[in-house]
Structure 1
């Protein structure tokens, strides 16, 4: 009679400790900056946890997680994935590792690093007590010595084990100045040369097609350090560097491309620096427009659609779209009819509490600063249901020297529905929303506080 073959798991990881008896524990991994639960198992009567899987995990840093979701142990998922870790001292988490050289190396480094960090903390405390620069300099040298010892440990390990996962993690966590370990005859002549060298070699030994990059917490920090240190903060420069990174990944359906493309989208859909939302549009047009990915969820597609519609027509540097308005006495006036050196377009609501504070502040700045610089204020009532309050507010705050308008209910001419949807064209989701345009109606600045527009105008005037 034929016997069914016993299935041998591709991955079998065992943990043992008296603390694990009859308790549920979880296997977790890093996924970029996130941590995700992968599996669960209940400890047997001997305190043994056995995680089995028919396919191997991606190599990297993994975690054993307690029933209350706290990290019990960190360990390395190696290539073989048939190892055991026994906790020999639950108090200080001393472990005995069987059948995994990589985890033995990882454990040895953690012990070494812990000792060095204790030395660093002691020296930092000592440094705080020093009264003279000379005494401080001695302590600082000792701190640099310990850091050099840590870097030397990592470098020696990388040279001895260039392809293994721990070596990859060491590369990912290297400080920038670690790339300056060049021989005397290769020293770079100028600071510019040094920066160019650092930039060129910053990702040495890092393959963006390697899924192991996501199974540690270092990738995002490394990417961020690169962009913050070496890349000019302009949409053109940032876009070019993003393209260079993404084109080295496992696109179109690999994990690294998926993670990094969404990382950059998230970063520039709501950027901290004005004008950098153009990067989002550039990423979308290159990697997502008219493309389908099996991993892209419907809610992400809807988000892209919404964000593109919200910002594609109001990018800093582009010409603002025309606005079709009526004055208080119902005469047609469009934004493009305004002839001025600068135009401030302000969308506001007479029932908005924030507007009640900001609009008078804007008017004071207009009277004292803006008017002399050639500014015309094109102030738009965003709430046509409150026309009486709108007119009362204009009279109360003496805003008659502005061009006060409201949206025309009917716009005659060869225009589409999109052409007259000012709330989408100028991304008016709340009020007040303020834009600064030049004489050609090109957008100079947007969505910052009134005082910032004063500073921007001063800078523009100094350039002339």
Structure 2
């Protein structure tokens, strides 16, 4: 059994299957047309045997006349003939590049290396020229789209001499403005090749400041150009972005997830959105929305060891470290003493107060024993009040959801107004964060 496969963004998916005829032919038939893009012939053992392009004319034949040399005989498809010609050209240039790179590794002087580097640049320029000329003469063609999406970022610097930009800032602005030239975000062909995510990632890594506001603005602009609400590109990219920032790798960037959710998913129904995705979004929103960097942390209603009421908002301090921990947690047993050392040697003189919360009220004896053993009496040691009087909802007192306490220890750094400064970073970073804040004042 052989298969036709294609890209779906960064994924590869099997789309159709067929058995070979007695004379070795593979005939694929389909009532509806395939979306234009890169397709692959996949062998029974799931290996890619051949890549080809699908355009609007989908009645064509490809015969492999020399598997070793990858020689093809193509009928009724100018696009695939162009694709084969480019692949032949590219293989030739790639062989030259490999030889030059091998030669470069053997060079002993900078001058000799410079000559080789110059030759490498010439080869790359020839490849870029091939792509640019093809784009100019085949606008709208599927291969032209692929070339546009795979162009290197510096290709846009190849402007006429009289159009050269005066400053680096102007050049960057020009590159940013033209980075997606030739790419229509309503075009479903964008998903039938492997270049889309890489191009978007390069754009964000190169041109977009790493702030929730800047990233949200750029994502919004891209999604607003797609085929929303039910088109394939909007579906793919909206889920790509929301998944990317649901587990943000940089502190504070989870706000992007909330922004995207509020703009494109909150109170909206999409027939393509699965129930498990909706449940995941709901869970992540509840886990993130009340503990965003820059927002005021929610109040915590606690009792001291001698059962006196003290809330987080009662604490008057320049900085507050809120630490959720469990006296039976092995990781806490290691981390809490380290925090105490940081407090004694660095934090205390910077105006830090530690508000340490026992997350396991079933182990009150062990909690008190640990406090005494590790000499934590200089901290405000508390546990959740079983009853909170006042005009509060159940959500107001659900500290585990408000502060996303799914495991322990969990720590936050707050300023004097109880705004969240830091989270999801090791407490050893808090001193540096405080010092950076002090420098800005």
Same fold by TM-score greater than 0.5: yes
- Return the match for 1:227 from 204, 212, 219: 204
Distance 1:453 1:68 in 2: 53
Instruction: Determine the structure 2 residue equivalent to 1:142.
Output: 119
- Return the match for 1:236 from 208, 213, 226: 213
Distance 2:70 2:100 in 1: 26
The question of whether the paired residues in 2 share the 8 Å contact of 1:358 and 1:450 is answered with: no
Instruction: Determine the structure 2 residue equivalent to 1:305.
Output: 282
Q: How many residues align?
A: 441
The answer as to 2:168 corresponding to 1:191 is: yes
SS in 2 for 1:266: helix
Distance 1:94 1:360 in 2: 68
Distance 1:99 1:47 in 2: 20
Instruction: Determine the structure 2 residue equivalent to 1:13.
Output: none
Q: Which stretches of structure 1, 4 residues or more, deviate above 6 A after TM superposition?
A: none
Instruction: Determine the structure 2 residue equivalent to 1:78.
Output: 55
- Deviation, structure 1 residue 133: 1.1
Instruction: Determine the structure 2 residue equivalent to 1:350.
Output: 327
SS in 1 for 2:60: strand
The answer as to 2:438 corresponding to 1:451 is: no
The answer as to 2:2 corresponding to 1:47 is: no
The answer as to 2:179 corresponding to 1:202 is: yes
- Return the match for 1:317 from 284, 294, 308: 294
Please identify, of 250-259 and 384-393, the stretch whose mean Cα deviation from structure 2 is larger.
384-393
- Return the match for 1:118 from 85, 92, 95: 95
Instruction: Determine the structure 1 residue equivalent to 2:246.
Output: 269
TM-score if structure 1 supplies the norm length? 0.94
Q: Name the Cα RMSD after superposition.
A: 0.8
The question of whether the paired residues in 2 share the 8 Å contact of 1:120 and 1:146 is answered with: yes
- Deviation, structure 1 residue 345: 0.3
Instruction: Determine the structure 1 residue equivalent to 2:402.
Output: 425
Distance 2:70 2:359 in 1: 62
Distance 2:135 2:242 in 1: 33
TM-score if structure 2 supplies the norm length? 0.99
Distance 2:27 2:229 in 1: 35
- Deviation, structure 1 residue 92: 4.0
Please identify, of 130-139 and 308-317, the stretch whose mean Cα deviation from structure 2 is larger.
130-139
SS in 2 for 1:49: coil
SS in 1 for 2:29: strand
The question of whether the paired residues in 2 share the 8 Å contact of 1:316 and 1:444 is answered with: yes
SS in 1 for 2:321: strand
SS in 2 for 1:53: coil
Distance 2:349 2:63 in 1: 77
The answer as to 2:235 corresponding to 1:258 is: yes
The answer as to 2:46 corresponding to 1:69 is: yes
Note the alpha carbon deviations across 1:8-67, whole angstroms, 9 max, x for none.
xxxxxxxxxxxxxxxx10111100000111011111111111110001011000011111
Distance 1:396 1:245 in 2: 56
- Return the match for 2:416 from 439, 445, 455: 439
Note the alpha carbon deviations across 1:376-421, whole angstroms, 9 max, x for none.
0000111111111111111111111000111111111110000000
- Deviation, structure 1 residue 447: 1.5
SS in 2 for 1:119: helix
- Deviation, structure 1 residue 70: 1.2
Distance 1:371 1:360 in 2: 15
SS in 2 for 1:225: helix
Instruction: Determine the structure 2 residue equivalent to 1:153.
Output: 130
Instruction: Determine the structure 2 residue equivalent to 1:14.
Output: none
Instruction: Determine the structure 2 residue equivalent to 1:169.
Output: 146
Distance 1:396 1:128 in 2: 61
- Deviation, structure 1 residue 93: 3.3
